[in-house]
Amino acid sequence: MISDGRDSSRDSFAQTWNDFISKYKNRFEKIQSKIFLGSIGGRFFGMDRDSNFERIDKYLDVITKKSNIVRFEEILNKIDHITFESYQKGVYDEMLTPIGFRGIQKGELVWFLNFRTDRMKQIVKRFCEYNFDKKLECLVLGNNNYGLGLEKEINSDFAGVGYYPIFENSVVKCTLAEYISLNDLNQLHIAETENIIM
């Protein structure tokens, strides 16, 4: 689990999980014995996009190590406990220090669910390399083609570094910026890379 705290309230992690399991309670009842908490960590670490590889590596180290098993019914209490202690220190959801519980095991399926490519590129690339180097033999899926040059065909041999994109990227034609440009109008683009509020 990667906590947000940037596009959501800075201390909403536990409430978000509670709302999620309440909404899908009937579905979880049938499969909850098979659900375990793998890890918790803020997006500052797990979803860096500015080549701060030490952050990604810290998160990767956590999600691949074994520790104590946290079962489905214990997840909310675990999130509550971890976030309470972090908030007391002034560390909120975005910056939660990664903590691992049930590490990724050899031969398992690892599925990166984000559609947006920008915050998935580093973690997917690093995990694909780790998967190959450590001979984990995990089947790695992405919800998108993240443009890493590591994409595999779904029926290809999984030798070497790579992952299988579930969906293809769609090309957006005639964006607003392009339309403005084609009409010889002026425009100004301003974007932040990192905007951390302590």
The residue ranges of every structural domain in the chain are 1-103, 107-198
Percent of the chain whose pLDDT exceeds 90: 61
In whole angstroms, what is the distance from residue 89 CA to residue 175 CA?
44
| Stated pTM of the model | 0.79
pLDDT digits (tens, 9 = 90+) for 38-87: 999 999 999 999 999 999 999 998 998 877 889 999 999 999 999 999 99
What are the structure tokens assigned to 37, written together? 């908490």
- The mean pLDDT of the chain is 89
Q: Of all helices (H) and strands (E), which one includes residue 142?
A: strand 139-142
In whole angstroms, what is the distance from residue 26 CA to residue 155 CA?
35
Q: Of all helices (H) and strands (E), which one includes residue 141?
A: strand 139-142
User: What's the longest Cα–Cα distance across the chain?
Assistant: 61
User: What is residue 40's predicted lDDT score, i.e. its pLDDT?
Assistant: 93
DSSP 24: T
- CATH of region 1-103, choose from 3.40.1450.10, 3.90.950.10, 3.20.20.150, 3.30.710.10: 3.40.1450.10
Of the ranges 60-74, 124-138, 155-169, which is most confident? Answer: 124-138
Torsions phi, psi for 108 (to 5 deg): -80, 165
Which amino acid is located at 193 in the chain?
Answer: T
